[in-house]
């Protein structure tokens, strides 16, 4: 994809005084760069506390382990890592069920690794998942409401070990899906948001 063309269109939009022409540019952007996908955002818990207690090198080493663990798991469930940013991983899938399976596998992998590491090196993750239309101008970037929603769920609302899925994404998952979920009502941006928390254990696949 031509990332430069994407940014040129955005610049044309902001410089255009006529609303009808701006609308045409917006339509062009969605036609050329719009895709309906599932977004997953993974966040590591405890950055401030661990950095304060053990130093930034300690925490960065944990971030690196999270990155090396995340990529092959995401790819094994037909997803791709869009980018790593600080202690977050941003991933893209075609279907919500693949994203949830990847999130479960990732959390279980971290739990297994934590058994053999000292407590201060244990990695605990929270994951947010949503599905919808996004602007994807390149392989390492995306924009849209699903990205905002998953960032809110994974980074702000999710607790360690928790996988939060929007009601819309959950509605697209087949009834034969092996994981149970519990619906929650969480506040996001001053509004209540219906989300599902996935129940999983080591015995589930």
Asked, for residue 97, whether it belongs to a domain, the answer is: yes
Residue 94: inside a domain, yes or no?
yes
> What confidence score (pLDDT) does residue 15 get?
96
pLDDT for 1: 54
Residue pair 97/125 in contact (Cβ under 8 Å)? The answer is no
Residue 30 lies in a domain: no
pLDDT of residue 2: 61
Angle value at C-alpha 92, between 87 and 94, nearest 5 degrees? 160
Can you give the pLDDT at residue 175? 75
**Could you tell me if residue 90 is inside a domain?**
yes
Residue 39 lies in a domain: yes
Residues (pLDDT < 70) of the chain are: 1-2, 47-48, 189, 202-205
CATH of the domain at 91: 3.30.70.1230
Cα→Cα distances 31→25, 38, 148, 181, Å? 10, 18, 21, 35
Helix (H) or strand (E) holding 40: strand 34-44
Is 57 within a domain?
yes
- 195: which strand partners? 166, 184
Q: Which of 137, 132, 130 is nearest to 32 (CA)?
A: 137
Q: Is 47 exposed, middle or buried (0-12, 13-18, 19+ CB in 10 A)?
A: middle
Report if residue 173 sits inside a domain.
Answer: yes
Q: How many domains does one find in the chain?
A: 1
Whether 186 maps to a domain, the answer reads yes
pTM of the model: 0.91
Q: Do 134 and 34 meet the contact criterion of CB atoms below 8 Å apart?
A: yes
Per-residue model confidence as pLDDT tens digits over 102-159: 999 999 999 999 899 888 888 999 999 999 999 999 999 999 999 999 999 998 898 9
Closest residue by Cα to residue 163 from 155, 154, 172: 154
Say what the pLDDT of residue 120 is. Answer: 81
Domain range for 104 is 35-199
């Amino acid at each position: 994809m031509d990332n430069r063309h994407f940014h040129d269109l955005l610049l044309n939009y902001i410089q255009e005084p006529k609303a009808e022409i701006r609308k045409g540019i917006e339509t062009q952007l969605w036609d050329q760069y719009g895709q309906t996908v599932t977004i997953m955002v993974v966040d590591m818990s405890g950055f401030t506390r661990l950095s304060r207690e053990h130093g930034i090198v300690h925490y960065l080493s944990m971030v690196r382990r999270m990155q090396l663990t995340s990529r092959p798991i995401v790819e094994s469930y037909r997803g791709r890592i869009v980018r790593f940013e600080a202690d977050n991983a941003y991933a893209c899938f075609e279907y919500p069920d693949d994203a949830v399976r990847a999130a479960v596998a990732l959390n279980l992998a971290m739990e297994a690794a934590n058994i053999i590491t000292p407590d201060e090196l244990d990695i605990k993750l929270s994951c947010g998942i949503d599905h919808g239309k996004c602007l994807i101008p390149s392989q390492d970037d995306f924009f849209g409401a699903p990205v905002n929603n998953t960032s809110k769920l994974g980074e702000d609302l999710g607790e360690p070990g928790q996988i939060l899925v929007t009601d819309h994404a959950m509605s697209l998952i087949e009834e034969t899906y092996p994981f149970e979920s519990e619906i929650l009502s969480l506040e996001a941006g001053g509004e209540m948001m219906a989300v599902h928390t996935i129940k999983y254990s080591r015995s589930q696949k």
